[in-house]
């Protein structure tokens, strides 16, 4: 492939602090990660030992505390990826691209957790490991595929500026795609199976104790979300440093 | 899109690109013939994947149609930018006074005609092998196919331009495109199932509306996004 | 009420395992990249 001068190189953002050695990059797993781990452990203790089981669903209802929070964290990360894609095409700032990459990878982790826990919950409450008529489950599955495609695309391009532009384009198109999948799945499920009101997930009757656990699970997993994203961002910085160092070494010899 | 003042105009140059691609295709015909044979072959093979005594051929025809259409579209789209990559023909296109948007629209028109030609054979073959009645229902199905094809080509042309520059070109195009085909295929299949079952148009129309909205949104979005996928 | 304790335990174990595996992968990548950077710098110095 011929190398034409790339836009990203000329129109880079105003100079910001650029680390030049690994020492200047803080460790990936730092105090925020430690706080998040402690918070998750605390949430587990509270959810499992100090929160009463649901009258209708029994112990299975406790899956909510990890399931819904995982999806919220995933959607937050996906939203940041889409937003950073727009920012990148606008400002050509490397940091936006790196943040988009970090968020996409973390989103995939949380989406996987959401799908697994949702499936385990559904197999007892719905009587099936998978149901196509549940909108959230189906929508999340397709979101998983889109995020996976985004990460595969990133892995398939070596030229950094091109990788950033391509993945930003995909990020923006994916944001446009989601409403269409949502609408299609909604129409598909609405005609097949009206949602059983008694088992409508997300809105169970909760005692105050359960509600506190439920809401704090959002905060706790968002914290873990941010800690993961930050760690992944720093790994992105290190990776670029390593690539730059190896390119320099190759020229010097 | 008609606002471009340069000569030739956007639509004229888009048509030139489409004609160029189709002329290359017409000279060799290998891609077209293989995609066509693939489509008809797949139609025949899928006939044997259901129990005839449980589901009638007419009931499974729409499902088969959409699976075959999606995959033959991928075959055609793969080719779209691969022919430019061969001897860096894309560089010649980029230095020509043709705007990037016109290049995208031209490529997309070429792909729509390529796919349309395949469907022109595949739909009658489907009707023949699956014993469908030619009539008003088939005409509506053709209209749905056209709408779906526009959406598929709008997305696929853009991803074809991206995939050709990556290390995994052949593998990446389906992986990028298929999630985007999901709403198109879901809407089109649901609409054509209802049409072929003789359901009233009021149950078909909501699906068509999403399909039309998808086409408009992604034609505009992909035309705007396309310049970012080219090397400067 | 059906006993769903086992489902709950399974869900918590699966979720925790995924988080732990991902944390370890982050930690390993961090360590490996730092080691790689150190080694290239020492090669430069020589």
Query: A230-253: per-residue pLDDT in tens?
Result: 999 999 999 988 888 877 765 544
More confident residue, C33 or A13: C33
Compute the count of residue pairs across chains A and B with CB atoms less than 8 Å apart: 88
What confidence score (pLDDT) does residue A10 get? 43
- Residue A68 domain flag: no
Residue A198: pLDDT over 50: no
In the beta sheet, which residues pair with residue A58?
Answer: A54
Mean pLDDT across the stretch B124-140?
A: 86
Minimum-distance CB partner of A22 among C18, C29, C37: C37
pLDDT at A248: 75
- pLDDT at residue number B157: 93
Which chain A residues have a beta carbon less than 8 Å from that of C23?
29, 33, 37, 228
Q: Please report whether residue B113 resides in a domain.
A: yes
- Which of A45, A233, A242, A253 to probe the C interface (max C CBs under 10 A)? A242
The answer to the question of residue B60 being in a domain is yes
Lowest mean pLDDT among A142-151, B69-78, B88-97: B88-97
Decide: A195 and A124 in contact? Cβ < 8 Å. Answer: no
Neighbouring CB atoms inside 10 A of C42's CB total 9
Shortest CA distance to A93 belongs to which of A4, A18, A152, A171? A18
Quick one: pLDDT at residue C13?
94
Q: Residue A54 carries which DSSP code?
A: B
B5 inside domain:
no
List alpha helices for chain A, DSSP H.
7-10, 31-49, 64-91, 94-125, 135-155, 160-192, 208-252
B4 falls within a domain: no
Tokens of A130: 């998978």
Q: Cα–Cα distance between B69 and B115 in angstroms, integer?
A: 9
Q: Is the pLDDT of residue A99 over 90?
A: yes
Task: Please tell me the distance from the alpha carbon of residue A191 to that of residue B31, in angstroms, as a whole number.
Answer: 40
Residue B144, classified by CB atoms within 10 Å of its CB into exposed (0-12), middle (13-18) or buried (19+), is buried
Give the whole-angstrom CA distance, residue B143 versus residue B160: 25
Separation CA A229–CA A232 (nearest Å): 5
Instruction: Establish if A218 belongs to a structural domain.
Output: yes
Q: Does B191 touch chain A (CB under 8 A)?
A: no
Return the half-sphere exposure (C-beta side, CA atoms, 13 A cut-off) of residue B226: 25
Mean pLDDT of chain A: 84
Give domain status of residue A235, yes or no. yes
A54 pLDDT tier (thresholds 50, 70, 90): confident
**pLDDT confidence of A193, banded at 50, 70, 90?**
low
> Does position A6 have pLDDT exceeding 60, yes or no?
no
A100: Cβ contacts below 8 Å, ≥ 6 apart: A80, A81, A84, A85, A88, A167, A168, A171
With 0-12 / 13-18 / 19 or more C-beta atoms within 10 angstroms meaning exposed / middle / buried, residue B24 is: middle
Measured distance CA(A139)–CA(B121) in Å, rounded: 34
Q: How far is CA A129 from CA A3, A63, A118, B190, in A?
A: 50, 15, 9, 24
DSSP per-residue letters across B19-36: HHHHHHHHHH-HHHHHHH
Mean pLDDT within B185-209: 89
Predicted local confidence at residue B196, as pLDDT: 86
pLDDT at res. B217: 96
> What digits encode the pLDDT tens for the residues A16-32?
677 777 778 888 888 99
- Asked if omega into B143 is within 30° of 0 (cis), the reply is no
Residue B70 CB contacts under 8 Å (≥ 6 apart), including other chains: B152, B178, B181, B185
From the list A29, A113, A245, the residue facing C15 with the nearest CB is A113
Question: Taking residues B204-210, what's their average pLDDT?
Answer: 91
Q: What is the mean pLDDT of chain C?
A: 87
For residue A241, give the nearest of C10, C12, C37 by CB distance. C37
Q: Does B158 touch chain A (CB under 8 A)?
A: yes
Range of the domain at B152: 10-229
Give the count of domains, chain B: 1
Whether B32 maps to a domain, the answer reads yes
* Mean of pLDDT values over C22-42: 89
Highest mean pLDDT among A49-63, B45-59, B191-205: B191-205
**Residue B124 structure tokens:** 């009658």
Q: What is the ipTM of this complex?
A: 0.89
In a domain, A42, yes or no: no
> Does residue B75 fall inside a structural domain?
yes
Domain of residue A175, residue span: 81-194+210-243
> Which is higher by pLDDT, C39 or B186?
B186
Question: Given an 8 Å threshold on Cβ–Cβ distance, is A58 in contact with C3?
Answer: yes
Is the predicted pLDDT of residue B115 greater than 80, yes or no?
A: yes
Compute the nearest-CA separation of A191 from chain C (Å).
30
Domain count across chain A: 1
A69, HSE (Cβ side, Cα atoms, 13 Å): 24
Is there an interface between B and C (3+ Cβ pairs < 8 A)? no
For the cut 60, the answer to whether the pLDDT of residue B126 exceeds it is yes
CB pair distance less than 8 Å for A124 and C37 = no
pLDDT, tens digit (0-9, with 9 covering 90-100), for A158-176: 888 999 999 999 999 999 9
Whether B156 is in a domain gets the answer yes
Does B175 reside within a domain? Answer: yes
| Position B210 confidence tier, pLDDT thresholds 50, 70, 90 | very high
Q: How confident is the model at residue A205 (pLDDT cuts 50, 70, 90)?
A: low
């Amino acid at each position: 492939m011929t190398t034409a001068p790339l836009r990203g190189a000329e129109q880079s953002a105003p100079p910001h602090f650029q680390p030049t050695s690994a020492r200047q990059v803080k460790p990936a797993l730092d105090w925020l990660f430690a706080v998040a781990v402690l918070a998750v452990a605390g949430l587990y203790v509270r959810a499992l030992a100090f929160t009463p089981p649901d009258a209708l669903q029994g112990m299975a209802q406790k899956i909510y505390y990890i399931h819904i929070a995982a999806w919220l964290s995933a959607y937050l990360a996906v939203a940041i990826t889409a937003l950073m894609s727009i920012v990148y095409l606008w400002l050509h700032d490397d940091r936006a691209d790196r943040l988009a990459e970090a968020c996409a990878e973390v989103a995939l982790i949380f989406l996987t957790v959401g799908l697994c826990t949702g499936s385990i919950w559904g197999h007892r409450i719905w009587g099936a490991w998978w149901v196509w008529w549940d909108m959230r489950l189906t929508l999340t599955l397709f979101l998983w595929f889109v995020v996976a495609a985004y990460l595969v695309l990133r892995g398939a391009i070596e030229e950094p500026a091109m990788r950033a532009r391509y993945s930003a384009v995909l990020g923006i198109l994916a944001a446009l795609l989601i409403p269409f999948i949502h609408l299609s799945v909604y129409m598909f499920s609405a005609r097949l199976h009206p949602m059983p009101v008694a088992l409508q997930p997300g809105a169970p009757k909760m005692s105050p104790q359960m509600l506190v656990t439920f809401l704090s699970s959002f905060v706790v997993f968002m914290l873990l979300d941010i800690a993961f994203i930050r760690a992944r961002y720093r790994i992105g910085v290190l990776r670029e440093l390593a690539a730059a160092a190896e390119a320099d070494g190759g020229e010097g010899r | 899109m008609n606002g471009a003042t340069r000569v030739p105009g956007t639509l004229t140059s888009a048509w030139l690109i489409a004609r160029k691609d189709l002329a290359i295709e017409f000279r060799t015909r290998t891609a077209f013939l293989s995609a066509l044979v693939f489509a008809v072959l797949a139609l025949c093979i899928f006939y044997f994947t259901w129990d005839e005594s449980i589901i009638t051929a007419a009931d499974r025809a729409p499902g088969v149609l959409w699976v075959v259409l999606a995959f033959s579209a991928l075959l055609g789209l793969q080719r779209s930018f691969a022919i430019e990559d061969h001897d860096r023909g894309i560089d010649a296109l980029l230095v020509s006074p043709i705007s990037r948007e016109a290049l995208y629209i031209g490529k997309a028109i070429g792909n729509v005609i390529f796919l349309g030609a395949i469907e022109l054979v595949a739909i009658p073959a489907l009707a023949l092998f699956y014993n469908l009645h030619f009539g008003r229902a088939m005409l509506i199905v053709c209209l749905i196919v056209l709408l779906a094809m526009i959406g598929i080509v709008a997305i696929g042309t853009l991803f074809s331009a991206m995939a050709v520059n990556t290390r995994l070109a052949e593998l990446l195009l389906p992986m990028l495109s298929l999630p985007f085909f999901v709403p198109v295929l879901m809407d089109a299949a649901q609409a054509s199932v209802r049409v072929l079952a003789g359901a009233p148009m009021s149950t078909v129309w909501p699906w068509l509306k999403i399909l039309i909205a998808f086409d408009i949104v992604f034609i505009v979005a992909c035309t705007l996004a396309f310049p970012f996928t080219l090397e400067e | 009420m059906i006993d769903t304790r086992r489902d709950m335990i399974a869900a918590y174990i699966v979720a925790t395992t995924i988080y732990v595996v991902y944390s370890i992968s982050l930690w390993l990548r961090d360590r490996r990249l730092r080691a790689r950077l150190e080694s290239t710098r020492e090669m430069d110095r020589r």
